[in-house]
Amino acid sequence: MASDYRKFYIDGAFVDPIEARPLGVINPATEQVFATISLGSAQDVDRAVAAARTAFETFSQTTRDERLALLERMLEIYKRRYEDMAQAISQEMGSPIARARDSQAFAGQGHLEALIESFKAFAFDEKRGTTVVTHEPVGVVALITPWNWPMNQIMCKVAPALAAGCTMVLKPSEIAPISGMVFAEIMHEAGVPKGVFNLVNGTGPDVGAAMSSHPDIDMVSFTGSTRAGTDVARNAAATVKRVAQELGGKSANIVLPDADLEQAVSQGVLGCFGNTGQSCDAPTRMLVPANKHDAALEIARKTALAVVTGDPRDEATELGPLVSDVQFNKVQALIEAGIAEGATLVAGGPGKPDGLNAGYFVKPTVFGNVQPGMRIEREEIFGPVLAIIPYETVEQAIAIANDTPYGLAAYVQGTDMAEARRVARRLRAGAIQINYPDWDLFAPFGGYKQSGNGREYADFGLRDFMEIKGIIGYGD
C-alpha cells in the first residue's frame, strides 16, 4: 500500500494543497510513522467548496437512476478494494486485522448496500390533496468524520448525501486518514462527477472550523466528541446551517434479574471491549442485581482475562492498541481515578499488558462496586474499561441508566421479553438493544441529549440530507 497521501481530492482530481504542511500518520501498534498526509487550510476548503457549489447546480438535477448507478459502481469497486481498506484501517487505528475485515471494512460495504436498497424504494413525492410534499437535496454539505469507525462514518454520510443529490466536502480524522484516501480513490474510479465529492485533510480547528462556518455550505454532518460537536454548532450558527451530530456516549447495559447471568455478563464484557473500547455506543456501564453482583464480577474477570491482546497483524488478536498516546494517557488517568475513588479492580488496571512495551496497548479492565457519581461511571473513557454497578430494584436501574448527559445507546438483557421491552421503552437513548441482537443496518442510529441530533443508517440518513418542500395548489 502506498505511503504518500499528501494530495487532496478536489474537483475530480488529486491535487496538491495550497501550502505544503506534511503530517506523519502513526501506526499505534508500533508508534512509528507509516504514511504521510497533508494538513489543509481554509484556502483549501474554499477551493473544495467552490467546486462543490458549482457541481450542485447539475448534480442536484440528476435522476434517481443516475445516482443509483453511481452508488452501484461505488459498491462494485469497494468490494474489489476491500482488503486494501481493511489493511489501511488496521494500520491507521490499530484494529486487529480480523476485526478490520469483518467489522470495520464491512461497515462501509454494509451501509452502502443498505442505502442502495432503501434508496430504490424511497418516495421523493407525497400527494396530500392538492398539495405535493417533495424531498430535495439540502445543498453543499460538510462531512466531518472520526477515527474510531472511519469507513462506517464516511459511508453513513457520503452515500446518503450522494443519493439525495448533494455535493460535499469530506474531512476524515487526521489521526486515521488513510482509509479516507483509499475511499477517494474508489470514488474517482467510480466516475463521480467533478466537484460532487471533495476531500480535504486537516485538523478540526483549521479545516473543520473553516467548513462548519463556511457561508457556501448548507449543512454540516459531524461525528466525534461532544466537546468538538459544540464547537461545530457554534461555528454553524452564524449562517443558520443545518447541523447533524453523532457525539459521545456512556451507554448502560441493564442485566435484569431473570437474565442468564453467565451469557449476559460475558457478552457484555466483550461488547464493551470491542474496537478496544473505542466506540461511542459501547455498553460501558453494566448494571447487575446487587444479590448477583459478586457472581457477575467473577464472570467478568474470567472473560476479561481470556481476551487476546496483541499485534493487530495476528489473526488471533482480539484487542489492539488505543489509537494514540493522547488516548492512552486519558484512559490510564481514568483507570487510576477508578482505583482512587474506591471501585473494586476486578481485572486489568494501570500500565501496559506484559510483553507489549511498544504501542498504545492497555489492559482490558473491569471495575466492580462502581457507584453513581464516580468518574468512571460518568465520563466517556473510550477504552476497554467496564464499570459494573449493583442495583436493588429495576426502577433504580432505570434511573441510574438515565442519569447521564448522554443518550446514544442502551442495552437490556432478560428472558421475560415483555419486561425487557418495558424497560427498553423507559430508557432515554436513541438505540436500545435487547439481548445482544445482530447489527441492524436499517435501524436508526443517533442520540438523545448530549449524544447529538439527527439519525443515520439507510433511509433515516437519506432524509437528513434533504429539504422538505410543500407545493400547495399543485392540483390533482
pLDDT in tens, 29-52: 999 999 999 999 999 999 999 999
In angstroms, what is the C-alpha Rg of the chain? 23
Mean of all residue pLDDT scores within the chain: 97
Give tens-digit pLDDT for 221-258: 999 999 999 999 999 999 999 999 999 999 999 999 99
* Per-residue pLDDT at 1: 64
C-alpha span between 368 and 297 (Å, rounded): 6
Confidence band of 266 (pLDDT split at 50, 70, 90): very high
Question: What is the pTM (predicted TM-score) of this model?
Answer: 0.97
Say if residue 6's pLDDT is above 90.
yes
To the nearest 10 degrees (0 to 180), the angle between helices 293-306 and 261-273 is: 50
- Assess whether pLDDT exceeds 90 at residue 471: yes
Mean local confidence (pLDDT), 412-439: 98
CB-based contact 426:394 (threshold 8 Å): no
All three cell numbers of 320: 489492539
**Residue 363 pLDDT more than 80?**
yes
CA distance 112 to 101: 16
What is the pLDDT confidence band of residue 476, given thresholds at 50, 70 and 90?
confident
CA–CA gap between residue 51 and residue 54 (Å, rounded): 5
- In the set 156, 174, 280, 377, the catalytic residue is 280
Q: What is the residue-wise DSSP string for 368-397?
A: ES--TTSHHHHS---SSEEEEEEESSHHHH
Active site residue 377: no
What residue ranges define each of the domains in the chain, with the CATH number in brackets?
4-247+451-471 (3.40.605.10), 252-440 (3.40.309.10)
The closest alpha carbon to 280, from 180, 427, 380, belongs to 380
The 10s digit of each residue's pLDDT in 364-385 is 999 999 999 999 999 999 999 9
Q: Which of 246, 318, 377, 456 is catalytic?
A: 246
pLDDT at site 203:
97
**Residue found by looking up cell 472520526 in the block:** 146
Residue 40 CB partners (closer than 8 Å, separation 6+): 8, 17, 21, 171, 200, 201, 202, 206, 207
156 carries an active-site annotation: no
Q: Would you say residue 71 has pLDDT above 80?
A: yes
pLDDT at 2: 74
For the segment 53-73, the average pLDDT, to the nearest whole number, is 98
DSSP 207: I
pLDDT confidence of residue 350 = 98
Angle subtended by helix axes 82-93 and 150-164, to nearest 10: 130
Summarised one tens digit per residue, pLDDT across range 82-106 is 999 999 999 999 999 999 999 999 9
Give the whole-angstrom CA distance, residue 409 versus residue 432.
6
E strand or H helix at 82, and its extent? helix 82-93
CB 336 within 8 A of CB 401: no
Residues paired with 367 in a beta bridge = 345, 387
Question: Distance (Å, rounded) from C-alpha 339 to C-alpha 91?
Answer: 32
Reference 273, options 350, 361, 384; nearest CA is 384
